[in-house]
Amino acid sequence: MSKNKTQGCKSQLIGNMHEFEDYFPTREIEDKGYKGVKKPQWTWNHKITSYKEYDEDIDVTHYFLKLKFIEWFRAQSDETLICWVKDMITFDLHQQADAVYEEYSSSGNVTRGEEMRKGCLYVESFVHWCNYAYLVEEVNEVLLKGWNYSQYKSIVKERRAQEVLDGIHERFVLKCDELSDDDMLALARLYHFVCSQKNLEFWTREQASPFSSITEQTLDVWREEVVAHLNGLKRGCTEKELKVVSMAYDIYLERSKSKKEFNRDEKWIFPIIEEAYHTWNSVTNEKNEIYRKGVRMRGAGFSKG
């Protein structure tokens, strides 16, 4: 296989998920036995190819590919990259399966440990396959489109901001002519709280299924996320957040006057908007200088203060 020098990415290897399937059609990995796979001598695995940056404007953590990884990937032949992917998927999966075996056999039930280990190899192989499929797809896009590193980071941020914006439109049932995109993004923290609530509700329902493998530990993770978001909201808000939640609250009050009944989505989200509005007004009335000076914001007539 040859490199496509003009486009800057691999001519044959994996430009997207469909092509990844052509090279790695099976998700099943041959069982090499407990401790049967030694750590491959590769510089990179999917866990260390990225670093993270927090974006407080939209309350998200971005994950960016490391420049050194992109350069390493660019320099490899297609054959080398195929070997890298196969080796790392096999190693990562066996590491997880061996850990499962140790957990279940530690009490002396070796048979149970081996059964769980084999189950892990079968069930989790797709997860590890996807780890590298998405990684290769991402780095190939950077190379194919010829982005420099600054362009790449800007595009990642823009895409994530658009995802958050689309989510806010959907969850808060707000229209473009009611709030600008810039104003809408001020609801990002509240939106992520709503998403964490929805996730907890979903996994709680899933756990109730007789065939569910969802554990209490999994639910605890989601519960902790909900509490973390909630505590952050209770601590207060920015002036922009208070302004926009007040506007959203006014929009819903106007809707309540013009229609007989909210739809299902509106019924679900309005109490959250209302509570955020009152909570933030209460905190701000005590702490924010603009309220001490008597500045009234749109919607302030409905505050508790």
- pLDDT tens-digit profile of 104-130? 888 888 998 899 898 888 888 888 988
Q: What pLDDT does 165 receive?
A: 96
With a pLDDT cut of 90, the percent of the chain lying above it is 48
Instruction: Give the residue extent of every domain in the chain.
Output: 6-146, 161-302
CA neighbor of 97 nearest in space, from 142, 44, 37, 56 = 37
pLDDT of residue 2: 35
Whether residue 13 contacts residue 78, with contact meaning beta carbons closer than 8 Å, is answered with yes
pTM of the full predicted structure?
0.76
What is residue 52's three-state secondary structure? strand
Which of 23-32, 49-58, 131-140, 276-285 is least confident? 23-32
Q: How confident is the model at residue 24 (pLDDT cuts 50, 70, 90)?
A: low
pLDDT score for 300: 36
Residue 127 CA to residue 97 CA, distance in Å, equals: 13
pLDDT band at 232 (very low <50, low <70, confident <90, very high): confident
3-state secondary structure of 143: helix
pLDDT at 157 over 70: yes
Q: Are 117 and 100 in contact (CB under 8 A)?
A: yes
Structure tokens at 20: 């990844």
